[in-house]
């Protein structure tokens, strides 16, 4: 049967010819091409995923033994990139829709109707599209030189040609070829990213086309919609296998279901990866959130990704039935989603109340037992701060609070010592520490202060000061003149990123301890502030500080 004469996106202008009207200015092309810069992968990989998304959205959903799965093939040469899928395919109307920015069927992962166009603008100048819709006897094609050229506007009507197909009627395909390339993806990075991004949909070596999902009624069902993804790199073809996640706890088959307040089902599995089996360290920790089998983000249900107790947490969360979920997608879906809105917060709140949230809470109750590699600059930083403190305290002017006796006491506490730094020790005082042990936490200048004196408990004092932005506490112990810093603590690990940050951290710890050691009652905070101010002036002249904070010596 011949196609209809007119449509919303393509109008029939001849026996085997259709016309679609397009308009893209150079600025629009550059802007759309730039959306792939952010994200966990190289921009060329992020852009390629948009072509995959289109193919995945139109994959065959009725795969059984007698009907092949959807094959997606990427062919990369020196001159061109071709992405072809043998899925549902499309006709002249679908080609017209594909070329119009903002026009989307909203099928599957498709959301904004601009990803494919943006990817074309990113990769190259020339564009050719060929397609055949399943159960149709026609093929359609259109060639557009300079469609993606960022130096020229593309405005006018394009021709979509039709011809009789020699393929079986039940077959369908959609093929995009980009010529005059400006960018090409690195195949190894492309393969690695696709193995994770489309993990639930990729057919493994066993060839099983089925997977278990949860339908809108909240029931676990088996569907046959997996894909075969091949990458042809200059004649060498590689099939992309789904990322393997070895587990020491949990199972992918143990699917759990939780419902939102609206009754929408979310399904998930979780566990802990076998770190020893992850020899290439390629399996990122965290929960991977998927929509229609496509990765959209990773998260720890709001907990810190740096917490070592969650370093082996893995799992999948599927959000196929969440109303409005596409509203938080980005044009570059690999670049992340909007996590500031109520939609995402409701998803996290639902999951925190589920067995998944309980599982994470149990992990967070475990003591931190991992050994953190001691930075090479650890002892050097401590020694530098010790010397800077000594010089700073020498230069302190005597006044009402910083009396000569207080200054002398402070100078005694930071006197040089030849003692070797023990594991976890960030500073060795030159005596005067006194017996017993004190525990405490580092406070940041201008943060909220405690409102009552330290509470005496047993053999020492426990002091808790909230850190700015509610990050929690940074515990340390002061025993016989030695300050021990728990470098296994995730908050301390975050701050010990390099020598400059480590020096600032050590300085804050020292100021906190020294202000207590002089035991001047209500003046402790003023003494601490004076030490921090004097030390800060000297720190700014240190090369490590200047390199990190990009400041010039005064």
- Give residue-wise pLDDT tens across range 322-331: 988 888 887 7
Can you give 325-360 as a three-state secondary structure string? HHHHECCCHHHCECCCCHHHHHHHHHHHCCHHHHHH
Please give the model's pTM, rounded to 2 decimal places.
Answer: 0.66
Q: Which pLDDT score is estimated for 217?
A: 95
Q: What is the mean pLDDT of residues 354-372?
A: 80
Q: Say if CB 57 and CB 107 are below 8 A apart.
A: yes
Structure tokens at 439: 């525990």
Which of residues 264 and 376 earns the better pLDDT score?
264
- In whole angstroms, what is the distance from residue 301 CA to residue 360 CA? 9
The pLDDT, as a whole number, for residue 545 is 84
Band (pLDDT 50/70/90 cuts) for residue 2 is: very low
Whole-angstrom distance, CA of residue 255 vs CA of residue 265 = 12
pLDDT given at position 297: 92
Please state, in angstroms and rounded to a whole number, the distance separating the CA atoms of residues 231 and 225: 20
Residue found by looking up tokens 């679908």 in the block = 94
Residue 388: what pLDDT?
87
SS3 per-residue string spanning 413-432: HCCCCCCCCCCCEEEECCCC
Distance CA 60, CA 89 (A): 10
Highest mean pLDDT: which range of 335-339, 374-378, 530-534: 530-534
pLDDT of amino acid 130: 96
DSSP-assigned letters across all residues of 168-203: -TT--EEEEEEEEES----HHHHHHHHHHHTTTTB-
pLDDT at 476: 59
Tokens of 505: 């951290």
135 close to 167: Cβ distance less than 8 angstroms: no
CATH of 11-189+226-234, one of 3.30.565.10, 3.30.230.10, 3.40.50.12780, 3.90.79.10: 3.30.565.10
> CA 409, 410, 411: angle at the middle one, nearest 5?
90
Percent of the chain with pLDDT over 90: 38
Residue 124 and residue 80: Cα distance in Å, rounded? 8
- Which of these, 132, 134, 97, 133, lies nearest to 116 by C-alpha position? 97
What number of H helices and E strands is found in the chain?
A: 13, 24
Q: Higher pLDDT residue, 508 or 233?
A: 233
Largest separation between any pair of C-alpha atoms in the chain: 101
Q: Which residues contact 306 (CB under 8 A, 6 or more apart)?
A: 490, 493, 494
Give the pLDDT of residue 153.
81
Confidence of residue 463 (pLDDT cuts 50, 70, 90): very low
- What pLDDT score does 312 carry? 92
Pairing state between β 70-76 and 227-233? parallel
CA distance 307 to 287: 14
Higher pLDDT, 366 or 474: 366
60 and 174 Cβ atoms separated by less than 8 Å: no
Question: In the CATH scheme, what architecture does the domain 247-364 have?
Answer: 2-Layer Sandwich (3.30)
**Residue range(s) of every CATH 3.30.230 domain in the chain:** 247-364
Is the distance from CB of 450 to CB of 512 less than 8 angstroms? no
- CB 441 within 8 Å of CB 464: yes
What is the C-alpha separation between 21 and 28, in angstroms, rounded?
16
Q: Report the percentage of the chain scoring pLDDT > 70.
A: 76
State which of 149-153, 237-241, 443-447 shows the largest mean pLDDT.
Answer: 237-241
337-370 in b/e form (b: 16+ CB < 10 A) is beeeeebbebbeebbeebebbebbeebeeeeeee
Dihedral angle computed from the Cα positions of residues 291, 293, 297 and 299, in that order, rounded to the nearest 10 degrees = 100
Please report the pLDDT score of residue 458 as a whole number: 28
For residue 417, what pLDDT band results from cuts at 50, 70 and 90? very low
Locate CATH 3.30.565.10 in the chain.
Answer: 11-189+226-234
The pLDDT mean for the chain works out to 79
| Closest among 376, 411, 419, 372 to 395, alpha carbons compared | 411
- What is the pLDDT, as a whole number, of residue 298? 93
């Amino acid at each position: 049967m011949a196609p209809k004469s007119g449509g919303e996106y393509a109008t029939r202008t001849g026996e085997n010819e259709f016309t679609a009207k397009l308009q893209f200015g150079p600025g629009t092309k550059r802007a759309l091409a730039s959306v792939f810069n952010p994200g966990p992968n190289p921009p060329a990989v992020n852009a390629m995923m948009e072509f995959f998304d289109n193919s995945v959205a139109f994959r065959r959903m009725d795969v059984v033994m007698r009907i092949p799965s959807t094959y997606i093939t990427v062919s990369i040469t020196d001159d061109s990139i071709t992405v072809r899928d043998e899925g549902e395919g499309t006709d002249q109307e679908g080609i017209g829709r594909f070329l119009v920015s903002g026009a989307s069927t909203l099928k599957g992962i498709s959301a904004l109707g601009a990803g494919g166009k943006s990817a074309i603008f990113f990769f190259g100048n020339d564009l050719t599209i060929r397609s055949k819709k399943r159960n149709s006897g026609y093929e359609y094609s259109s060639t557009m030189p300079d469609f993606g050229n960022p130096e020229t506007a593309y405005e006018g009507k394009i021709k979509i040609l039709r011809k009789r197909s020699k393929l079986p009627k039940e077959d369908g395909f959609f093929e995009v070829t980009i010529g005059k390339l400006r960018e090409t993806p690195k195949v190894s990075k492309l393969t690695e990213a696709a193995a994770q991004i489309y993990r639930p949909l990729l057919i493994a070596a066993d060839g099983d086309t089925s997977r278990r999902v949860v339908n809108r009624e909240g029931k676990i069902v088996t569907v046959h919609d997996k894909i075969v993804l091949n990458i042809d790199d200059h004649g060498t073809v590689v099939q992309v296998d789904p990322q393997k996640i070895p587990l020491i706890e949990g199972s992918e088959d143990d699917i759990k279901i939780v419902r939102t307040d609206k009754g929408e089902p979310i399904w998930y599995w979780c566990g802990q990866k076998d770190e020893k089996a992850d020899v290439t360290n390629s399996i990122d920790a965290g929960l991977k959130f998927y929509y229609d089998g496509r990765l959209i983000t990773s998260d720890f249900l709001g907990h810190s990704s740096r917490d070592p107790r969650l370093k082996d947490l893995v799992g999948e969360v599927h959000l196929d039935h969440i109303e409005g979920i596409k509203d938080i997608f980005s044009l570059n879906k690999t670049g992340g989603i909007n996590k500031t809105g109520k939609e995402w917060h409701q998803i996290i709140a639902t999951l925190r109340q589920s067995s998944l949230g309980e599982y994470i809470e149990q992990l967070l109750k475990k003591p931190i037992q991992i050994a953190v590699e001691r930075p090479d600059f650890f002892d050097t930083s401590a020694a530098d701060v010790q010397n800077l403190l000594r010089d700073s305290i020498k230069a302190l002017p005597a006044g009402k609070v910083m009396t000569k006796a207080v200054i002398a006491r402070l100078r005694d506490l930071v006197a040089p010592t030849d003692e070797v730094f023990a594991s976890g020790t960030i500073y060795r005082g030159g005596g005067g520490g006194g017996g017993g042990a004190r525990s405490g936490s580092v406070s940041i200048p201008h943060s909220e202060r405690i409102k009552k004196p330290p509470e005496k408990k047993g053999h020492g004092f426990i002091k808790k000061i909230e850190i700015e932005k509610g990050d929690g506490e940074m515990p340390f112990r002061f025993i016989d003149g030695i300050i021990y810093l728990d470098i296994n603590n995730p908050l301390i690990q975050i701050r010990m990123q390099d020598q400059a940050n480590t020096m600032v951290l050590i300085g804050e710890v020292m100021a906190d301890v020294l202000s207590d050691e002089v035991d001047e009652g209500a003046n402790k905070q003023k003494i601490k502030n004076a030490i921090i101010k004097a030390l800060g002036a000297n720190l700014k002249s240190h090369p490590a500080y200047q390199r990190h904070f990009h400041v010039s010596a005064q």
